[in-house]
Amino acid sequence: MATAHNEAKKGEIAKTVLMPGDPLRAKFIADNYLSDVKQFNTVRNMFGYTGYYKGKKVSVMGSGMGMPSIGIYSYELFDQYGVDRIIRIGSAGAYSPDCKIFDIVIAQGACTNSNWASQYNLKGTYSAIASFNVLQEAVEACEKQNARYHVGNILSSDIFYNDEPDVWKRWAKLGCLAVEMESYALYCNAAYLNKEALCILTISDSFITSEVTTAKQRQESFTKMMEVALSCIKE
């Protein structure tokens, strides 16, 4: 059952997996939210854990940075480990002035500057979208927790340091709320394999105000997003 990237055995991974980019954020969730925790992966230090949250079995595993990385891990989880639902929990840079630091963004759809979908040989542009039922569960969880949240389109970018620093304004003009680097590939994998996926983000920095959170804050302080995701466990 093990792959080149995941040493888990059959049955060690739950049907729902939360995927932060940072494996240390996966460890933080396992240490602070889950009971009866067992670590199922240490390959490449991409930590994975399975435990229970309020009696429901759930796994959490890092995805790494960028679409190639989450593309590998999410595909294997869906295709080889029988996972039904992956919820990405990550950080994002705000493109919209309405999105403040620590606000939650629920990605209804993901635009991209990547050529990820070229593998499908489509005669057009593929729109990568979330699974609506999971999105609805996340919105309901935000409402119950009185969390500030926004639902809409985001940009999944292949580029972090862009040679054209103001290019973000064009995406913002078309309504993209924020930018991150993984969701488009996750949504494509889920659609291709007939699985469920959602991306829940916390605003870590702003292109509008130039505010930036610290690495420690991104690792340990995005708890509202974590709790919203944990409310969407599919058993």
pLDDT for 164 = 95
Buried/exposed 123-161: b ≥16 CB within 10 Å, e otherwise: eeeeebbbbeebbebbbebbeeeebebbbbbbbbbeeee
- 7 belongs to a structural domain: no
- 67 belongs to a structural domain: yes
Tally of domains in the chain: 1
The answer to whether residues 130 and 187 touch, using CB atoms and an 8 Å cutoff, is yes
The DSSP symbol for 9 reads: P
Burial environment of residue 26 by CB neighbours within 10 A (0 to 12, 13 to 18, 19 or more) = buried
pTM reported for the whole predicted model: 0.96
- 127 belongs to a structural domain: yes
pLDDT for 170 = 98
pLDDT for 217 = 82
- 235 belongs to a structural domain: no
pLDDT for 194 = 98
Mean pLDDT of each 10-residue bin along the chain, 235 residues long:
92 98 96 98 98 98 98 98 98 97 97 98 98 98 97 98 96 98 98 98 97 83 94 92
pLDDT for 144 = 97
- 6 belongs to a structural domain: no
Q: For residue 187, what is the domain's CATH number?
A: 3.40.50.1580
205 is catalytic: yes
Q: Which of 70, 176, 187 is nearest to 120 (CA)?
A: 187
- 8 belongs to a structural domain: no
Catalytic one of 31, 98, 103, 205: 205
The answer to whether residues 5 and 47 touch, using CB atoms and an 8 Å cutoff, is no
